[in-house]
């Protein structure tokens, strides 16, 4: 018998080398030194709108055609994927005459003075302006019309909640019944020496008390025993941790019958559960509303407490079902009927694919209908199904420049590597040639995330990659790996409520499709999220790096243009600070804003000249900054950082929108229902700030190098 040779492991170096080869083959002539990268940050539809304006200004200055890498995250990936989609169609490119999203340009008066207004020119290709009109007029993509409104969105959410509660609720009832049959809920009176008795307490609670007493005795003996060897101390500390965990678990189990009897479960418990749900949602939304402010410890604890209370309420409900079933008044057949339902629930769980039961498909469909539309939608300007986009495989996207890197986050809260575990995840890239991460391995995109459908092999689609990169709402994650949704209780509750947009992939060909049982149950408990797991979960790239420059820095590009459309009303530059720190630790890359006249200070409101005709109360000096990049091999590069901020000499409609909506240009990312006016305000802002940056003498000098 001949042994089958194992496929050669694909390295990070091989991936980058093949990307460079693909880019170099496209270049007709090398007009720039090194590789240039454009990063479009996360921030939902706000970032997509802002980034569109950035793209238009880069086209005007003929810079986009020089870009080698397009690195997108979350909302920036909306418009970035749209660009990639249209560049794969005949007649579109990155030059002014064939750009797919129109080309706003400054008007000039009779004296040649530039006006602060922009308009779409309608010359070579009228279709490009129809595409632009379609996107901005349908920017409320979650409710596009045609029968897809708030009610349909609500129905999809309720379907997911019902399915999750049916499967996991039934399994919880089965678990509670097993605990009940083990007599852990039974009240027993245990006699102690000297006639002392532990009263009529559930057995589980008595076991918990016994474990605590055992630990107290161990602590006393340890203090009297003198010094111990290091190995013994470490083993003892691990043992104590295990016993404490068991004691707490038994205490929770033992408290269930006591609390149940005191609350009159069916009425008080039900009302408590409803109140807890409302409280949990309120607290969670408040704690997530302003990531830029330092979170008070109470605001960190409250969501976990509320989520834990609700989960405990669900346990009480499961216990009450078992309790009622055992009352003399209950019919004998009810017990077996419950287990028939449990069997059905298990069957549903094992056959329900995680990627289908969550909200990923609905989210993906709405995004691709707006940003990857069919011709009929563009021509009519109204919503229509995107049948062509649904079939567009990632490895078959256009082969021209720029080479698109779609950034996601690999959830690694259970990793054996401390760095990954503390960060909550690691960068995971999806692209035309390769998909993967240095934490796991790299797959050729042709064989990545494939599945059998009607006996035809399919792989990752471009639309799915876009949606995964923007899967912001997901358990065990948070912005840059931080936030209340990283907590175990909140994550478990989000899983129970089916609040997840992430996508599961198989790390081995032998694995079955991920379902609600495997790995669903382990995921519910916060386990199985490691780089060596059989199933891997991918989420919003902003959960690791919300700027998109991390992978560009890995590739040591010479120039980075970063469009930062994230919400940062306090101008703390949190996302930028996060990636600067991680790039320094991981790649030994230094990013410094050394040019004091083009530093980050000038982006902060109230730094504009006081004689500005618009007033300086909210205005910054400029909307861009310049940084120097020093790589670990001594090579240097530059970054042009463009950020949402108000500056002097913007069009009147932008100031008007800001006056009416003071939170502009940092409105909540939770607002994904943009109208035309809101979309235009951000698009125009991105265009104007980028145009100003490209006219800067310092920037021009960098671009000529």
**Local confidence band at 613 (pLDDT 50, 70, 90 cut-offs):** low
C-beta of residue 579 within 8 angstroms of C-beta of residue 550 = yes
CA dist 93 and 86 (Å) reads 8
Give per-residue burial for 93-128: e unless 16+ CB within 10 Å, then b.
Answer: bbebebbbbbbbbeeeeeeeeeeeebebeeeebebb
pLDDT of residue 609: 67
The strand ranges marked E within 554-634 are 559-564, 590-592, 624-630
**Local confidence band at 61 (pLDDT 50, 70, 90 cut-offs):** very high
CA dist 594 and 602 (Å) reads 13
Residue 562 clears pLDDT 90, i.e. is over it: yes
Q: What is the pLDDT of residues 120-151, one digit of tens each?
A: 444 445 777 899 999 999 999 999 988 899 99
Q: How many CB atoms lie within 10 A of CB 418?
A: 8
CA dist 205 and 207 (Å) reads 5
Q: Domain range holding 212? A: 173-331
CA dist 440 and 538 (Å) reads 12
The strand ranges marked E within 65-184 are 69-73, 104-108, 114-120
**Local confidence band at 510 (pLDDT 50, 70, 90 cut-offs):** low
Decide if 137 is inside a domain: no
Residue 332 clears pLDDT 60, i.e. is over it: no
Cis status, amide bond into 402, omega within 30 of 0: yes
**Local confidence band at 331 (pLDDT 50, 70, 90 cut-offs):** very low
pLDDT of residue 227: 62
pLDDT of residue 339: 78
Residue 664 clears pLDDT 60, i.e. is over it: yes
Decide if 586 is inside a domain: no
CA dist 546 and 576 (Å) reads 8
Decide if 404 is inside a domain: no
Block residue for tokens 């799915």: 464
- Out of 174-178, 219-223, 533-537, pick the least confident: 219-223
Q: What is the pLDDT of residues 511-527, one digit of tens each?
A: 678 999 999 999 999 99
CA dist 520 and 354 (Å) reads 7
- Out of 8-17, 325-334, 348-357, 541-550, pick the least confident: 325-334
Burial of 158 (0-12, 13-18, 19+ CB in 10 A): exposed
pLDDT of residue 120: 46
pLDDT of residue 184: 77
Decide if 561 is inside a domain: no
Q: Please give the C-alpha separations between residue 433 and each of 14, 16, 175, 201, 404, in angstroms, as whole numbers.
A: 11, 10, 46, 63, 10
The C-alpha R_g of the chain, in whole angstroms, comes to 29
Decide if 12 is inside a domain: no
Mean pLDDT, all residues of the chain = 85
Domain count, the chain: 1
pLDDT of residue 222: 72
Decide if 215 is inside a domain: yes
- pTM comes to 0.88
Residue 531 clears pLDDT 70, i.e. is over it: yes
Decide if 530 is inside a domain: no
- Out of 191-205, 341-355, 467-481, pick the least confident: 191-205
Question: Which residue, among 463, 459, 481, has the nearest Cα to 540 in the 3D structure?
Answer: 481
Q: What is the pLDDT of residues 244-293, one digit of tens each?
A: 888 888 888 888 888 877 765 444 445 445 444 545 554 454 444 444 44
Question: Which residue, among 123, 59, 122, has the nearest Cα to 87 in the 3D structure?
Answer: 59
What H or E segment, with its residue span, contains residue 674?
none
What percent of the chain stands above pLDDT 90? 60
Parallel, antiparallel or unpaired: strands 36-40 and 69-73: parallel
pLDDT of residue 253: 83
**Local confidence band at 333 (pLDDT 50, 70, 90 cut-offs):** very low
- In the numeric block, which tokens belong to residue 488? 């175990």
Question: Which residue, among 549, 564, 567, 546, has the nearest Cα to 672 in the 3D structure?
Answer: 567
SS3 state at 540: strand
Q: What is the pLDDT of residues 412-453, one digit of tens each?
A: 999 999 999 999 999 999 999 999 999 999 999 998 986 444
- Out of 178-192, 536-550, 578-592, pick the least confident: 178-192
Question: Which residue, among 464, 463, 489, has the nearest Cα to 476 in the 3D structure?
Answer: 489
Residue 375 clears pLDDT 90, i.e. is over it: yes
Q: What is the pLDDT of residues 583-601, one digit of tens each?
A: 999 999 999 998 888 999 9
C-beta of residue 220 within 8 angstroms of C-beta of residue 277 = no
Residue 696 clears pLDDT 80, i.e. is over it: yes
pLDDT of residue 548: 98
Decide if 252 is inside a domain: yes
């Amino acid at each position: 018998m001949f042994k089958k040779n194992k496929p050669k492991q694909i390295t990070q170096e091989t991936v980058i080398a093949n990307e460079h080869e693909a880019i170099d083959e496209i270049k007709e002539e090398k007009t720039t030194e090194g590789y240039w990268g454009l990063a479009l940050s996360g921030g939902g539809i706000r970032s997509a709108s802002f980034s569109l304006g950035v793209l238009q200004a880069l086209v005007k200055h003929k810079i986009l055609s020089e870009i080698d890498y397009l690195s997108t995250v979350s909302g920036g990936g909306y418009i970035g994927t749209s660009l990639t989609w249209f560049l794969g169609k005949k007649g579109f490119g990155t030059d002014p005459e064939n750009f797919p999203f129109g080309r706003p340009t400054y008007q000039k008066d009779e004296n040649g003075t530039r006006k602060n207004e922009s308009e779409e020119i309608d010359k070579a290709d009228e279709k490009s302006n129809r595409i632009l009109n379609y996107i901005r007029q349908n920017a409320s993509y979650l409710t596009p019309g045609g029968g897809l409104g708030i009610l349909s969105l609500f129905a999809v959410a309720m379907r997911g909640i019902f399915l999750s509660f049916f499967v996991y609720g039934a399994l919880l009832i089965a678990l509670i019944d097993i605990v009940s049959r083990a007599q852990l809920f039974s009240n027993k009176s245990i006699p102690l020496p000297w006639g002392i008795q532990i009263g009529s307490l559930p057995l589980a609670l008595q076991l918990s008390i016994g474990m605590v007493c055992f630990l107290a005795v161990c602590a006393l003996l340890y203090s009297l025993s003198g010094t111990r060897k290091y190995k013994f101390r470490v083993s003892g500390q691990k043992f104590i941790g295990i016993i404490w965990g068991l004691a707490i678990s038994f205490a929770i189990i033992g408290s269930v019958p006591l609390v149940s009897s005191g609350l009159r479960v069916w009425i008080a418990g039900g009302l408590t559960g409803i109140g807890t749900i409302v409280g949990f949602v309120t607290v969670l939304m408040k704690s997530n509303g302003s990531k830029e402010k330092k979170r008070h410890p109470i605001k960190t604890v409250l969501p976990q407490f509320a989520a834990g209370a609700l989960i405990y309420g669900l346990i009480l409900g499961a216990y009450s079902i078992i309790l009622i079933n055992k009352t003399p008044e209950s019919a004998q057949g009810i017990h077996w009927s419950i287990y028939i339902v449990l069997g059905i629930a298990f069957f549903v769980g094992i056959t329900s694919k995680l990627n289908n039961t969550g909200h990923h498909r609905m989210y993906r469909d709405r995004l691709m209908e707006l940003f990857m539309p069919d011709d009929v939608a563009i021509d009519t300007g109204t919503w229509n199904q995107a049948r062509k986009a649904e079939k567009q495989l990632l490895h078959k996207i256009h082969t021209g420049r720029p080479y698109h890197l779609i950034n996601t986050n690999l959830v690694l809260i259970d990793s054996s590597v401390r760095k990954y575990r503390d960060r909550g995840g690691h960068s995971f890239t999806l692209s035309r040639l390769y998909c993967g991460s240095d934490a796991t391995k790299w797959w050729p995109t042709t064989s990545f995330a494939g599945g059998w459908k009607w006996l035809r092999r399919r792989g990752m689609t471009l639309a799915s990659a876009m949606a995964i990169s923007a899967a912001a709402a997901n358990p065990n994650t948070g912005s840059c790996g931080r936030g209340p949704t990283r907590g175990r209780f909140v994550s478990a509750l989000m899983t129970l409520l089916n609040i997840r947009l992430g996508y599961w992939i198989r790390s081995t060909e032998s694995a079955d499709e991920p379902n609600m049982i495997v790995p669903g149950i382990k995921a519910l408990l916060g386990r199985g999220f490691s780089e060596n797991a059989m199933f891997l979960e991918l989420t919003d790239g902003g959960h690791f790096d919300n700027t998109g420059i991390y992978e560009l820095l890995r590739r040591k590009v010479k120039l980075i243009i970063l469009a930062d459309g994230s919400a940062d009303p306090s101008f703390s530059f949190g996302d930028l600070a996060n990636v600067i720190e991680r790039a320094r630790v991981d790649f030994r890359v230094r990013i410094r804003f050394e040019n004091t006249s083009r530093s980050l200070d000038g982006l902060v409101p109230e730094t504009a000249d006081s004689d500005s005709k618009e007033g300086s109360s909210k205005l910054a000096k400029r909307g861009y900054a310049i940084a120097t990049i020093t790589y670990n091999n001594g090579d240097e590069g530059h970054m042009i950082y463009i950020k949402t901020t108000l500056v002097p000499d913007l069009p009147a409609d932008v100031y008007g929108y800001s006056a009416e909506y003071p939170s502009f240009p940092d409105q909540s990312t939770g607002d994904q229902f943009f109208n035309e006016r809101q979309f235009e305000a951000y698009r125009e802002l991105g265009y104007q700030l980028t145009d100003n940056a490209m006219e800067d003498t310092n920037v021009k000098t960098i671009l000529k190098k």
